[in-house]
Amino acid sequence: QFVLIQPPSASGTPGQRVTISCSGSSSNIGSNYVYWYQQVPGTAPKVLMSRNDQRPSGVPDRFSGSKSGTSASLAISGLRSEDETDYFCAAWDDSLGGVVFGGGTKLIVL
Amino acid sequence: EVQLVQSGAEVKKSGESLRISCKGSGYSFSRHWILWVRQKPGKGLEWMGRIDPSDSYSDYSPSFEGHVTISADTSISTAYLQWPSLDISDTAMYYCARLDSGWNFGNYYYDMDVWGQGTKVTVSS
């Protein structure tokens, strides 16, 4: 249903490094920037990563983003309990002429 | 401070009409597209459509074309999302977001950089 493909869940223990993947196609990730959003249930999405790997002001450097071809990844190092929430990737899609999102990944901190 | 403030939660019956709003402040409202995004309970984000407030040009995701209308009133820096006839399946949280776009070292960017707080719409039979 969602154009960008994310794993439904990911997990790690405190202090670990986890990565969340986002797979797309040539019309979206392959030709446009990737964005990551963090969403605490019941609140609006918060921009976590902009233009593939740019952290907005206030986002800790534990978070990093990367892109290669038609896939992207969000890495979280030094995992903390407050990181346990939902993460979405997004990109502009040239064929659609609009934004496409991933289905979201629920991060669980064990 | 740049912000988008959305109208409050709505409870409606199937078949009724509805218009929700998104008011921008802290920036030149006409200079940025406004997007609308749907999120059904426990689900992901879906792009519905967008509007250029400077000329009210709008376009829609095929999934929403013909079912909703997006409009804007620059005199009060407000964008709207409207349903002529609600369906139970329209029960969701709706977000507006500002789109900042342009060129960055040879690449075009589409930053959804500011989001509204969301409007919860509940439709019953």
Instruction: Report which of residues B24 and A1 the model is more confident about.
Output: B24
Residue A4 — pLDDT band, cuts 50, 70, 90? very high
pLDDT, residue B106, reads 84
pLDDT, residue B104, reads 87
Distance (Å) from the alpha carbon of B34 to chain A's nearest alpha carbon: 12
Q: For B2-56, how does the pLDDT look when each residue is reduced to its tens digit (9 = 90+)?
A: 999 999 999 999 999 999 999 999 999 999 999 999 999 999 999 999 999 999 9
Tally C-beta pairs within 8 A across A and B. Answer: 62
Q: What is the 3-state secondary structure (H, E, C) of A35-102?
A: EEEEECCCCCCEEEEECCCECCCCCCCCEEEEEECCEEEEEECCCCHHHCCEEEEEEEECCCCEEEEE
- Which one of B46, B108, B118 has the shortest CB-CB distance to A44? B118
* CA–CA distance, B64 with B82 (Å, rounded to integer): 11
Q: For A47-88, how does the pLDDT look when each residue is reduced to its tens digit (9 = 90+)?
A: 999 999 999 999 999 999 999 999 999 999 999 999 999 999
The 10 Å Cβ neighbour count of residue B62 is: 8
